[in-house]
Amino acid sequence: MNNNSFGKKLGRVWSQYSYIFVLLIIMIGYAFTIHSNGNTFKFSHIAAILGSQNTCIVGTIALGMAFVIITGQIDLSVGSSLVLCTGVTIVVFNLTDNVFLMILAALATGALCGLINGLLVGLGKMPPFVVTLGTMLIYRSLTLSVVRKVDPAISGSSSSQFAMISKKANYQFLRMQFGTGKLKFGTFSIPYIFFVFLLVAIILIIVSRKTKYGKSVYAVGSNEKSARLAGINVTWVKISVFVLTGVLVGIASILQACKIGNVTPASSGQSYEMYAIASVVLAGVSMAGGKGNMLGVIFGALSYTTINFIIVSIPGLSVDIQDTFQGLVLIIVILIQTAGPAIKESFQRSRKRRLASAKAE
Amino acid sequence: MTILEMNHISKSFGGAKALSDVHLSIEKGEIHALLGENGAGKSTLMNILTGVIPADEGTITFLGKQYPSPTIQQMEAAGIAFVHQELNVINDLSVSDNIFLCREIKTKFGLIDQKEQLKRTRQLFEDLGVDMNPSAMVSELKASEKQLLEICRALYADAQLLILDEPTTSLSNNEIDHLFGILRRLKEQGKSFIFISHKMPEVFAISDRYTVLRNGEFVAEAEGFIRDTDPHAITSFMVGKQYVDTEVYQPRPLGDVVLKLEGFTGEGFEDINLEAKRGEIIAFTGLAGCGASELMQTMFGVLPSTGGTFSVYGKPLQGPVVSFMKNSVAMLPSNRKENSVVPDMSILENFYLAEHEISKRKKPFINTKEELARYSAQKEALRIKAGNSSDSISSLSGGNQQKVFLARWLNIGADILLFDNPTQGVDVGAKEEIYKLILDFAQQGKTVIINTLEIPEIQKVADRCVVFYEGKIVKIFDHSEVNEHNVMMYSTNAIETTREGSSHE
């Protein structure tokens, strides 16, 4: 009996905080790999994970993706809109050398990309998968077609890329101090951009838990019909999460510009939509909508980055095979998350049947 | 010749007796009406006959053969076909593909022999006198044609006895005539039908004999030839002497008119004119599909209105649901699980969701303390039996869930309350409590409209009862005039049939 209730408790904690366990297990795996390479696992390894573009840039996008997925939708265009936004952001910087205008341009472009998705889905009543598949192609190709035609004095690069011009007055601050700089605590140091991600995450955790808007997002994903009959403007909620995601892509584009300093429309942000979805899934958010903890997305993003780091640090593993391992780990994690409750349920059902038949006799 | 004999059939679910000692016999070449109120046991009996569920007691003899424990496959093979109310045809296949579904004719290469299938379908339609294109897509057919297709499919499989479960609910009058014409022809060819319907005019138009079930029991005197009886008598058999347990109804003084429907028209109803006063309880009733539920949904902005006005306190209302809510209208939808419950949320979250839509502009953040206080007040007032407010909504019983949703709407301060089938899936004790609450609301000056099929429910709470038939108001009864017989006469439109009958004589 005692044993049983302990098992139940463990099951509940596991299903509620699975994202923490997932990160812990993956971290241990990472430490193990480092050790087997003959090095010691240090805080700098963790700091590298925190400041990685996979954590901060993809993570910021994943926060928006989580909202979209909680409403039961999907946004495949985020990688392409990141490229478009970063292009605009860098061009505005190169033209104005003004930090404020650059941020404004980034957020506005992101919001616009999201709004287009949202309107097509919300008012056009088209499936989000198809709409964002379309805009995914459009946003990237637009950026690609523009980059070659822009004067290098504006694009900042003579090749097919947008790059921040290093002669501008604010370059030093944005790139060197903010983008790649770190906050030092004694011997530890954490990259600044991680704090941007963290701040955005905290705001969205509050939105999801403490605001009336946040609750309506969950309600729409959980039972759209009930939500509508409770007075929730379902169409508006669905549009709003796309706009929110767009704004977050805008923030991510600022991080991309400041950390990397450039964007290549042909290759940057490739598959970011998949990485963002993977982070959301690792965070334990249900793809069916209505369920999921925004706090988990922080852990999800970190888990995903760590998986990457493990794969990179295994000697003799070719870069080409990396995605195979990423895919495998993702499937295994999801298998554990979905199979766990399913096994539990079938166990409960068989017990109920046994009880019923015992009663009948 | 008798082709089917069901004798001494009994069936219980848990402790509840669904059928006790029921008899049914069907002759070759007859249309036999199986009648009874909702819950009288008609579906249970048919499910036993078709092998879906086993009977506890009794014997089934079909075409001279005994079936002690029939299975679905056995009964199908024996020649009994169930044509369901919801059409079980596949829209994306052609007519002939549907007929040969799961018994396709194959060529020697293992592919479907379309040519042969079309030929045989054409032959079948010719034999039956059905005018339908075998290669048409089913999605393009009218509802009546789909119904016919299902019947043809059953006949192709050589069914001798077809069960038609309310086959006319989705059909227009012309389509019904068409269907009946074919049924009569098939009858002459020796096919038998069990015809389940709530519509008296149809029962009298098509049936030869009838059997009435009441509360799972066979009504002995209510079996015989349709030509020897009249709608009045049958309605009485169906209703019997109803036992109304506790009298909770109390008349109260009514206030001014607060709600007005003028020429109100929408999907499924038209030209509705009605007024309701402060503190009044009005019941809408009628058969399934009579338009009352659609009317209610349109009065809450869920469905669009196409004409006329609905005004509350003299102000015409339209627009999205939330604008109705802001004008103190609330609707408790039917089918709680589908339309009210947000399954991934707690009791508290399910409770406060609607109120947020009104208050979110001014106060975007949730004040949990305040919400809990409001919830506790409602919980006490409505006597909700629930554990922790953070428990999942699905942890509650049906009755208590329904109370949470009542609380949801009281929480927005609504005083026009529309309840669509509020006691659906709620046990008897909780039902009584909900009736008391409805009367309390009226006492407090709220106006309540309930849509229900249960006549005892109307007798318990309603000051007036509005009967709908095919989207129109056919009769408004005062409280004292409401009884099963009166309401049934109008909701089945038996009154029209009787009048027509007597005018002919």
Does B362 score more than 80 pLDDT? Answer: yes
Closest chain B CA to residue A360: B14
pLDDT of residue A344: 66
Taking a C-beta distance cutoff of 8 angstroms, is the pair B260, B306 a contact?
no
Instruction: Quick: pLDDT tens for B240-296.
Output: 754 445 567 888 889 999 999 999 999 999 999 999 999 999 999 988 778 999 999
Instruction: Quick: pLDDT tens for A33-60.
Output: 999 888 888 888 888 899 888 899 999 9
Partners of residue B353 in chain A, C-beta under 8 Å: 215-216, 219, 227, 230, 232
DSSP string covering B377-444: HHHHHTT---S-TTSBGGGS-HHHHHHHHHHHHHTTT--EEEEESTTTT--HHHHHHHHHHHHHHHHT
Q: Which is nearest to A299 in space by CA: A279, A275, A274?
A: A279
A343 belongs to a structural domain: no
Q: Which is nearest to B82 in space by CA: B51, B53, B55, B107?
A: B51
For chain B positions 390-419, those within 8 Å of chain A (CB to CB) are 408
Interface of A with B (CB under 8 A): 210-213, 215-216, 218-219, 221-223, 225-233, 290-291
Partners of residue B321 in chain A, C-beta under 8 Å: 228-229, 231
User: How sure is the predictor about B445, in pLDDT bands with cuts at 50, 70 and 90?
Assistant: very high
- Report the complex ipTM: 0.85
Domain segments of chain B: what residues? 2-239, 257-482
And the tokens for B221?
């005197």
- The half-sphere exposure of A103 on its side-chain side, counting CA atoms within 13 A, is 4
Size of interface A-B (CB pairs under 8 A): 82
And the tokens for A360?
């009948």
Q: Total domain count for chain A?
A: 1
The distance of B5 to chain A (nearest Cα, Å) reads: 31
Closest chain A CA to residue B368: A210
pLDDT of residue A341: 65
CA atoms of B31 and B164, how far apart (whole Å):
10
CATH number at residue A311: 1.10.3470
Average pLDDT across chain B, whole number: 88
Q: Under an 8 A CB cutoff, do B302 and A228 touch?
A: yes
| B345, B349, B364 ranked by CB distance to A213: nearest | B364
Instruction: Quick: pLDDT tens for B484-501.
Output: 888 888 888 877 776 665
> Would an 8 Å CB–CB cutoff place B302 in contact with chain A?
yes
Does B412 score more than 80 pLDDT? Answer: yes
Residues 6 or more apart whose Cβ sits within 8 Å of residue A334: A281
pLDDT of residue A311: 84
| B333, B359, B363 ranked by CB distance to A229: nearest | B333
Q: Which backbone phi and psi does A136 adopt, to 5 degrees?
A: -55, -45
What order of strands is seen across the sheet that includes strand B2-13? Answer: B65-66, B57-62, B2-13, B16-27, B217-225, B209-214, B31-35, B192-196, B161-165, B80-83
Q: Report the predicted TM-score, pTM, of the whole model to 2 decimal places.
A: 0.79
Instruction: Quick: pLDDT tens for B15-60.
Output: 667 888 999 999 999 999 998 876 678 888 999 999 988 899 999 9
CA atoms of B163 and B321, how far apart (whole Å):
41
Closest chain A CA to residue B405: A230
CA atoms of B224 and B229, how far apart (whole Å):
8
φ/ψ region of B32 (left if φ > 0, alpha if ψ in -120 to 50, else beta) reads beta
Residues 6 or more apart whose Cβ sits within 8 Å of residue A191: A47, A50, A51, A56, A180, A181, A182, A183
Range of the domain at A59: 17-324
CA atoms of B28 and B22, how far apart (whole Å):
20
Instruction: Quick: pLDDT tens for B60-115.
Output: 999 999 998 888 889 988 999 988 766 778 889 999 999 998 888 888 888 988 99
For chain B positions 117-156, those within 8 Å of chain A (CB to CB) are none
Please give the CATH architecture assigned to the domain spanning B2-239. Answer: 3-Layer(aba) Sandwich (3.40)
Does B180 score more than 50 pLDDT? Answer: yes
* Higher pLDDT, residue B410 or B423: B410
Mean pLDDT of B357-366: 92
A262 belongs to a structural domain: yes
* Higher pLDDT, residue B503 or B320: B320
Mean pLDDT of B318-338: 92
CA atoms of B440 and B446, how far apart (whole Å):
9
User: How sure is the predictor about B223, in pLDDT bands with cuts at 50, 70 and 90?
Assistant: confident
Partners of residue B408 in chain A, C-beta under 8 Å: 230
pLDDT of residue A1: 43
Does B116 score more than 50 pLDDT? Answer: yes
| CATH number for domain B257-482, candidates 3.40.462.20, 1.20.1250.40, 2.30.110.10, 3.40.50.300 | 3.40.50.300
Stretches in chain A below the pLDDT threshold 50: 1-2, 360-361
